[in-house]
């Protein structure tokens, strides 16, 4: 079962909308609505995994937490010295460029995580 938690902010106030029994298309539609300001955080619970997507517009960051590790999706640029500022959960944060991914990367990663497709994704894995 897939459950999506969509955060919508109005200034300092955050409201979370829960979408139970979501499909892949529902997940993608919610992520498409992310604007990096009032909608900058989506969390997806799938089986025992928590998939967190931050940002919006054209730049996102994706982290998957399992019982044993944290997986960060790596983008096409692996510039560790370059940082990008994006908003996640209403907070402006700086992340290394290597974590910035496009919507297409997110779609491919979700297909892989939901077992619908084998994708060639690069992940940084941090064991707990």
Q: How confident is the model at residue 79 (pLDDT cuts 50, 70, 90)?
A: low
100, two tokens:
């910035």
pTM: 0.93
d(CA 39, CA 37): 5
Q: DSSP alpha helices (H): ranges in the chain?
A: 24-32, 103-113
Distances (CA, A) of 102 to 9, 81, 107: 22, 20, 9
Q: How many domains does the chain have?
A: 1
Q: Show the domain range for 87.
A: 2-127
Mean pLDDT rounded to a whole number for the chain: 93
pLDDT tens by residue, 3-38 = 999 999 998 899 999 999 999 999 999 999 999 999
What pLDDT shows up at residue 111? 92
Q: pLDDT tens for residues 94-119?
A: 999 999 999 999 999 999 999 877 77
């Amino acid at each position: 079962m897939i459950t999506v938690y969509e955060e919508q902010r109005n200034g300092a106030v955050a409201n979370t909308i829960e979408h139970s029994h979501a499909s892949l298309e529902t997940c993608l539609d919610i992520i498409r609505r992310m604007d990096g300001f009032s909608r900058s955080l989506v969390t997806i619970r799938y089986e025992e995994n928590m998939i967190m997507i931050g940002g919006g517009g054209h730049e996102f960051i994706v982290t998957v937490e399992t019982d044993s590790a944290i997986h960060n999706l790596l983008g096409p640029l692996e510039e560790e010295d370059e940082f990008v500022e994006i908003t996640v959960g209403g907070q402006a944060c700086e992340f290394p460029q290597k974590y910035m991914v496009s919507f297409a990367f997110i779609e491919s990663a979700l297909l892989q995580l939901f077992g619908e497709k084998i994708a060639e994704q690069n992940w940084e894995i941090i064991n707990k």
